[in-house]
Every structure is written in C-alpha cells, then in structure tokens.
Amino acid sequence: MRGSETSVVCESCGRKVPRNKGVVYERAISFNTGQQATTDVRFFERRKVWYCISCAKHRGIFEKKKREAIEKANRM
C-alpha cells in the first residue's frame, strides 16, 4: 500500500526516508582494549546502516555495491 512504508533515519544527515528508498549498507565495527597481553578483549560486529540517496551518492556507496556485484558475477 502506498504510504504504509516505515521510515528509517539516515546515518549521515538524520533525514527520514521511506525504507524502500533508503540505501542499506553493512558496516563492520571492531572494539578492542588495546592491551598487548593475553587479557586483550576483541569484539567484531556487523551493523546495518541506512543512508538517504544523496548521502549514499556522496559517500560512494553505490559504486561499492556495483563493484561487489561485478566481482560476484565474475566468481560464478
């Protein structure tokens, strides 16, 4: 139905955009304590981040997705 799409907030500018128009990008986040001992704690997380169209173009996310699609097609 028209107008029933949920809104997401752009990570960069804070603009609200419909979910079907937003660009989703998985970002890897890593945390560590920085100690060089055996008690060093490391944590890796992959998080979905939403961007509006203009911010995704500005950050080059479309080009990254295009490059990944080409690489995936070449592997098959």
Query: Is a pLDDT exceeding 70 seen at residue 1?
Result: no
For residues 59-65, average pLDDT: 81
- Of residues 49, 47, 64, the one with CA closest to residue 10: 49
User: Which DSSP category does 5 fall into?
Assistant: P
Q: Can you spell out the DSSP letters for 21-47?
A: TSEEEEEEEEEE---SSTT--EEEEEE
Q: Does the reported pTM lie above 0.85?
A: no
For residues 43-68, average pLDDT: 87
For residues 52-65, average pLDDT: 86
